[in-house]
Amino acid sequence: MIKPRILIADDEDIIIQLIKRVLTDKGYEVETAENGSVAVEKLKTNAFNLLVTDLKMPGLTGTDVLKQIKITNPYIEVILVTGYPTIEAAVEALKIGAFDFICKPFDINELVSTVERCLRKQAYAIDYVKATELRTLFEINRSVTSESNLDAYLGRILDSALSITRAKKGSLLMLDDHSRQLTVKAVRGNGDGAASAPAQLEVENTIPGRVIREGKPIVINSRESFDELMQSHPDMAPASLYTPPLASLPLRSQRTTFGVMNICEKESEEGFTEREYTLLAVLAGQGGVAIENFKLYNDLQAKIEMLEETIKKLHATQDQLIQTEKLASVGQLASGIAHEIRNPLGIIMSGLEFLKGTMKNDDPMTGESIEKMKNSILRANNIIIELLKFSRASKLELKAVDLCALIAEAAGLLEHQASLNAVEIQRQFPPLPVLIEADVTMLRQVFFNLFLNGIDAMPKGGRLSVCVTQEQSDGASWAGVNVSDTGTGIAPENLDRIFDPFFTTKEPGKGTGLGLSISHMILERHRGSIEVKSQVGTGTAFLIKLPVYAGQPAQQEEAWQK
Amino acid sequence: MAEVKKILLIDDEKDFCFFVKQILERSGRFQVSIAHTGETGLTLAQQNKPDLIILDVMMPNMSGPDVADALLRNELLKSVPILFLTALVTEEEIGSRLMREIGGRNFIAKPVEAHKLISCIDNTMRCGDVNCGAVAR
């Protein structure tokens, strides 16, 4: 246990010696001063818990000493001793902060008990201050992990720092990694009247900037040393912002300095005590941790978002693969069974033709029946033909073409049919050609299919829009084609299935259910994609993306079917 | 009255051959002999040179293209026009891939209607070995 330190000031040596002996016997560490000036000097350079001083001394009186030391050390307790007691003097002493007042001659036991009482009170007071500080630190510490609003948290750190040090002004600046500027995150006491703080500070030639650069705190405890600093660094701006004493501490983690906390202008003229400085350092450290946490949290959040995006893309790719697999298996099946089915179809067809020729009478019913049967054979055959398009192992015949011209051509083929259905075809093409590498026949079929579907979806007429754009994404140039109709729309439960082979909502015989799956496959083989959006009653939009031809020879397309 | 043309039909589908023979002969313009394998077809062609051969592409053992090769190497038969018949390719492919791979001749896909078959036969005989581009649809 540290012994309480007591300074005794009296111009009578005998009294000094007496008190010193008694208090030393009681276990205190005692020093002496023969007058007021010596006492003030000793109090400035050494820490004492208690001053026992004579009221009347030559030079500085006990009251003078009391006034002076309370400015620089508000925690010290003072007991006044006097041989000429007056009520007024006693009241005055208590007013300016003395603990008690003892009259000479005094009973030594009275002195000891007063000293003990005084020190006990002081211990309580210090305990109270410590407890308050600890609670402040604890609260700050506790909320560092839960606080998601960094600015609010930094504000609380600043408030705590101001209340612990009883300072009037403070600010908390954060360093922007890119611009190397200090941004004010929180400011206190610089409001009305005082020079308002700028929102940003340069790192060069400012006190906080120097703290950032050096990663070390700057503490200026007196007006003199502040002026000295300003004179030696006249470009160190802005001096008007700070009123000494000033403590400027880095907010840092183990490796990086994130910002600066400035605290200045205390309620009294005293500088920062060792203890206050330690507390400020703890708070600044806490601020550094908070900023680092916040940055780590943000990084993590960004990574999570990236990961989610990747997973989404992965799912999309997986869906595409499944779709491709479906199409491929249908294709393989098709080429396998086409031969087996088309041969019997050939026999039935030629058999029917034979029968038609052998009919003796010209019964119109018979002729009609044979035509119906022939039509059914052709219908079955059409499905086989569509299926066979999947299994074509031939390579794409790629050449650079203007996508707009190709689309215009496909639309032109359907112009007549569109007008019969009261459908207006609207084209929106960019002024310059959009070059892509394509197998013209196959890609034309894709747009033909899409336009035909669009027209079919508008039995009461409507508008079929086709809009071509060229856009940049992921460092590549893409051609986008938006084909939309104002038709019946696709029911949500069907939307996932429209690219499936044989899925159709058209009545039997009107569609093979292969148009969109073939389009999907063809676009995929062109390294493109197709997406659909639809709302029942409003219409359907297909968005096609195709890589723009950059003038380089196309990558040799892998054999689509093994 | 036009001369009756001799047609050799080589196809392993017997029922198909039967009906096609009836249809063609009934027109009065053709006389049709039938072979169910490539080998028999070659023998028949050797014995009685036809004016046109209708040749199935996919057959067991000797395929259509094999028969065509053998015909081309035969001094007597190399000038006989061939109409390929197939159940496998689509009509669009008839126009591109098979033509390139097997040679510039005419093709027709099963099932085929009588009038298309006859117009294809006429085209093939008129143009001979030259690809006249008149692919039946």
pLDDT tens digits for range A133-159 = 888 878 777 776 565 678 888 888 888
pLDDT reported for residue A532? 92
CB-based contact (8 Å) between B62 and chain A? no
Interface ipTM: 0.78
Helix (H, G, I), strand (E, B) or coil at A389: helix
B137 within domain boundaries = no
B133 within domain boundaries = no
- The structure tokens 């992921």 sit at A474
Long-range contacts of residues A296-299, Cβ cutoff 8 Å, at least 24 apart: A297/A148
Number of H helices, E strands in chain A: 14, 18
Determine the length of chain A.
562
Highest mean pLDDT among A146-155, B28-37, B98-107, B119-128: B28-37
B-chain residues within 8 Å CB-CB of A381?
111
Torsion angle of C-alpha atoms A531, A535, A540, A544, degrees rounded to 10:
-20
In this complex, the residue of A342, A348, A356 whose CB is nearest that of residue B87 is: A342
A-chain residues within 8 Å CB-CB of B29?
none
pLDDT band at A264 (very low <50, low <70, confident <90, very high): confident
State how far the Cα of A188 lies from the Cα of A158, in Å rounded to an integer: 8
Residues 6+ apart with CB under 8 A from A531: A542, A543
B56: closest chain A residue by CA: A343
A385: closest chain B residue by CA: B90
A379 or B34: whose pLDDT is higher? B34
Mean pLDDT of B43-54: 94
Helix (H, G, I), strand (E, B) or coil at A363: coil
pLDDT reported for residue A95? 83
- The structure tokens 């390579």 sit at A395
A354: closest chain B residue by CA: B23
State how far the Cα of B45 lies from the Cα of B51, in Å rounded to an integer: 10
CB-based contact (8 Å) between B96 and chain A? yes
Q: Mark yes or no for CB contact B113/A347 under 8 Å.
A: no
Q: What percent of chain A has pLDDT over 70?
A: 89
pLDDT reported for residue B128? 57
CB-based contact (8 Å) between B125 and chain A? no
- CA A121-A127-A128 angle, 5° bins: 90
Does A227 score more than 90 pLDDT? no
Mean pLDDT of chain B: 81
pLDDT reported for residue A247? 87
> Which one-letter amino acid corresponds to residue A347?
I
Q: What are the backbone dihedrals phi and psi of residue A167, each rounded to the nearest 5 degrees, phi first?
A: -100, 160
pLDDT reported for residue A126? 82
Task: Report the gap between the CA of B102 and the closest CA in chain A (Å).
Answer: 15
In this complex, the residue of B88, B96, B114 whose CB is nearest that of residue A338 is: B88
Does B93 score more than 60 pLDDT? no
State how far the Cα of A549 lies from the Cα of A557, in Å rounded to an integer: 15
Contact A481, A500 (CB under 8 A): no
CB-based contact (8 Å) between A348 and chain B? yes
β pairing state of A100-103 and A77-82: parallel
B100 within domain boundaries = yes
State how far the Cα of A96 lies from the Cα of A53, in Å rounded to an integer: 14
Task: Report the gap between the CA of A343 and the closest CA in chain B (Å).
Answer: 6
CB-based contact (8 Å) between A377 and chain B? yes
Contact A315, B79 (CB under 8 A): no
B41 within domain boundaries = yes
pLDDT reported for residue A544? 94
Mean pLDDT of A524-541: 90
Helix (H, G, I), strand (E, B) or coil at B86: strand
Q: What percent of chain A has pLDDT over 90?
A: 18
For residue B10, the domain's CATH number is 3.40.50.2300
Least confident segment among A90-99, A193-202, A330-339, A543-552? A193-202
pLDDT band at A510 (very low <50, low <70, confident <90, very high): low
B103 within domain boundaries = yes
pLDDT band at A347 (very low <50, low <70, confident <90, very high): very high
Does A245 score more than 60 pLDDT? yes
pLDDT reported for residue A351? 92
CB-based contact (8 Å) between B131 and chain A? no
Q: Tell me: the pLDDT tens digits for A377-431?
A: 988 888 887 777 666 544 577 889 999 999 998 898 888 888 888 999 999 999 8
Does B44 score more than 90 pLDDT? yes
B30 within domain boundaries = yes
In this complex, the residue of B19, B87, B92 whose CB is nearest that of residue A338 is: B87
Which residues form the domain of B66?
5-127
Q: Mark yes or no for CB contact A353/B89 under 8 Å.
A: no
State how far the Cα of B102 lies from the Cα of B69, in Å rounded to an integer: 9
Contact A348, B115 (CB under 8 A): no
In this complex, the residue of A342, A350, A356 whose CB is nearest that of residue B20 is: A350
Which of B56, B90, B112 to mutate against chain A (most A CBs within 10 Å)?
A: B90
- The structure tokens 């569509």 sit at A386
Does A553 score more than 50 pLDDT? no
pLDDT reported for residue A540? 94
Task: For residue A395, count other CB atoms closer than 10 A to its CB.
Answer: 14
pLDDT reported for residue A238? 61
Mean pLDDT of chain A: 83
Helix (H, G, I), strand (E, B) or coil at A440: helix
B73 within domain boundaries = yes
Number of H helices, E strands in chain B: 6, 5
Mean pLDDT of A71-83: 82
Q: What are the backbone dihedrals phi and psi of residue A429, each rounded to the nearest 5 degrees, phi first?
A: -115, 145
State how far the Cα of A220 lies from the Cα of B97, in Å rounded to an integer: 90
Taking alpha carbons only, the member of A401, A396, A397, A395 closest to residue A549 is: A401
pLDDT band at A198 (very low <50, low <70, confident <90, very high): low
State how far the Cα of A467 lies from the Cα of A489, in Å rounded to an integer: 19
One DSSP character per residue, A201-242 reads EESTTSHHHHHHHH-S-EEE-SHHHHHHHHHH-TTS--GGG-
Determine the length of chain B.
137
CB-based contact (8 Å) between B60 and chain A? no
State how far the Cα of A326 lies from the Cα of A390, in Å rounded to an integer: 11
CB-based contact (8 Å) between A360 and chain B? no
B132 within domain boundaries = no
Q: How many domains does chain B have?
A: 1
pLDDT reported for residue A546? 93
Q: Tell me: the pLDDT tens digits for A459-494?
A: 899 999 999 999 887 778 899 999 999 998 998 888
Which of A335, A343, A379 to mutate against chain B (most B CBs within 10 Å)?
A: A343
In this complex, the residue of B97, B111, B114 whose CB is nearest that of residue A381 is: B111
> Which one-letter amino acid corresponds to residue A155?
G
Mean pLDDT of A113-132: 86
State how far the Cα of A438 lies from the Cα of A448, in Å rounded to an integer: 15
pLDDT reported for residue B62? 86
